[in-house]
Amino acid sequence: MIEWQVLSSASKNLRVNLDPRTKLFLLITICILVIGGQINGIMLIIRPALAAISLILLFTAGKRKISNICIGVYVFFFICENFILPVMTGTLGFILLFFSGFITRLLPGMVMGYYTVETTSVSEFIAAMKKIHLTKKIVIPLAVMFRFFPTVIEEYHAIGDAMRMRGIRFGGKNIFKILEYRFIPMMICSIKIGEELSAAALTRGLGAPVHRTNICRIGFHFIDIFLIFLCIALFILSILSKIGVF
């Protein structure tokens, strides 16, 4: 086995290595069941269960600080929604209800999305996209997009620095000027880099009409299968509850 692969996995010993396809399936499950789910019957269990899965995954990914914050926020609003609000009335209760409604429903999806982005290398993601037979016409732009995102951000910061250094500030000047100074050079610089990038990629055979191979090995493990079955079970339960079996 090649040395570097051992090295890179040793540093993340607690990490549960999920297949990117599992992560995406979980993400979609969470989006559908948590955002749209009812607040009664079996859904009272399914929603927090899915939230817990996303939060636990984030925790095991080694993102302690951010996962602790998310867990805290979620637990707080979950308790509000389920235990405090039913006995509370008045404006404060109403505001809390408003926030808890949104946060308990949106946070799990965001956490799962963040977890997916943080723990999936782009090559793994691309390999997964290929495995689910997504066309090259989407996979290639998507790969470029991920690759290019940090570059655009870098350009944005470099331009921000230059503005500070040159003392360009906008005391009362119009919003159009801010956008023009901030975004136009960013776009021009990014596009120039992008042209070089695409030339370089083409000299290395991108777009050849052959079956593209991929050295990135992904595959399902026990934990993947477990989570996928769990998701399917939760889907079935929620449908049963909707048609009134429970």
Partner 1 sequence: MNSSKSQAKDLVNIGIYSSIYLVITMLLSFLSLIPVFHPLLAILCPIVGGVPFMLFLTKTRKFGMITIMGIIMGIVMLLTGMGYFCLFTGLVFGLLADIVAKSGNYVSAKKSILTSGVFSIWYVGNYLAAFIIRQSHYDHIIKSFGQEYADAYMSFYPNWMLPVLFAVCFISGIIGGFLGKALLKKHFKKAGIA
Partner 2 sequence: MIKLQGIWFSYGNENTGDELRNINLTIPEGQVVLICGESGCGKTTLTRLINGLIPNYYEGKLQGSVLIEDTNISEKPLYDIAPLVGSVFQNPRSQFFSMDTTSELAFGCENIGLSEDLITERMERVVSDFQISYLMGRSIFALSGGEKQKIACASSAMMEPKIFVLDEPSSNLDIKSIGDLAKVIALWKEQKKTIIITEHRLSYLMALADRVIYMKNGEIAEDLRIEEFKNIPQKEIYNMGLRSIAPITFQHHNDKILEKEMLELSNFHFSYEKIPTLEINHLKIPKRSIVGIIGNNGAGKTTFARCLCGLEKKSAGELQIGRKIFSGKQRLNQCYMVMQNPSHQLFTEEVMDEVLLSMEDDTEENRELVNKVLHDLNLQGLKNRHPMSFSGGQQQRVAIASAIVSGRSMMVFDEPTSGLDFRHMKEVARNLQKLGAMGNTLFIITHDPELIAECCNYFIFMEQGKVLWSGGWSDLNMQRIINFFEATQYMELIHR
Question: Residues in the site for partner 1, rule: CB under 8 A?
Answer: 27-28, 31-32, 35-40, 85-86, 89, 93-94, 97-98, 101-102, 105-107, 109-114, 116-117, 136-138, 140-145, 147-149, 151-153, 156, 179-180, 183-184, 186-188, 190-192, 194, 197-198, 201-202, 206-207, 209
* By the rule CB under 8 A, 206 interacts with partner 2: yes
Shorter beta-carbon distance to partner 1: residue 89 or 213: 89
Q: Does position 239 bind partner 2 by CB under 8 A?
A: no
**62 contacts: CB under 8 Å, gap ≥ 6:** 12, 14, 15
CA angle (220 as vertex; 217, 222 as ends), nearest 5 = 135
Asked if 82 touches partner 2 (CB under 8 A), the answer is no
Give 174's Cβ-side CA count (13 Å radius). Answer: 3
Q: Contact with partner 2 (CB under 8 A): which of 14, 175, 199, 243?
A: 199
Which whole-number Å values give the CA distances from 214 to 31, 125, 173, 245, in the listed order?
A: 30, 11, 52, 46
Q: Measured from the CB atom, is 1 or 209 closer to partner 1?
A: 209
- Number of amino acids touching partner 2 (CB under 8 A): 56
Which of 42, 122, 152, 228 is close enough to bind partner 2 by CB under 8 A? Answer: 122
Name which of 233, 245, 210 is nearest 33 in CA terms. 233
Q: What is the 3-state secondary structure (H, E, C) of 33-59?
A: HHHHCCCCCCHHHHHHHHHHHHHHHHH
Quote the CA–CA distance of 181 and 179 in Å, as a whole number. Answer: 6
* 171 is a contact residue toward partner 2 (CB under 8 A): no
Instruction: Locate 202 and state its tokens.
Output: 């083409």
Tell me how many degrees the CA angle 140-141-143 measures, rounded to the nearest 5.
65
* Least CB distance to partner 2 at residue 58 (A): 20
* Cβ-based nearer residue to partner 1, 5 or 191: 191
Q: Which residues, 6+ apart, have CB-to-CB distance to 60 below 8 Å?
A: 14, 15, 16
Q: Which does 158 bind (CB under 5 to 8 A by kind): partner 2, partner 1, none?
A: partner 2
Find the shortest distance in angstroms from Cβ 30 to partner 2: 25
How far apart are alpha carbons 202 and 196 in whole angstroms? 10
Stretch that binds partner 2, among 14-22, 43-51, 100-108, 201-209 (CB under 8 A): 201-209
Chain residues that interact with partner 2, rule: CB under 8 A: 2-5, 7-8, 121-123, 143-144, 146-147, 150-151, 155, 158-159, 161-168, 180-181, 184-185, 188-189, 192-194, 196-216
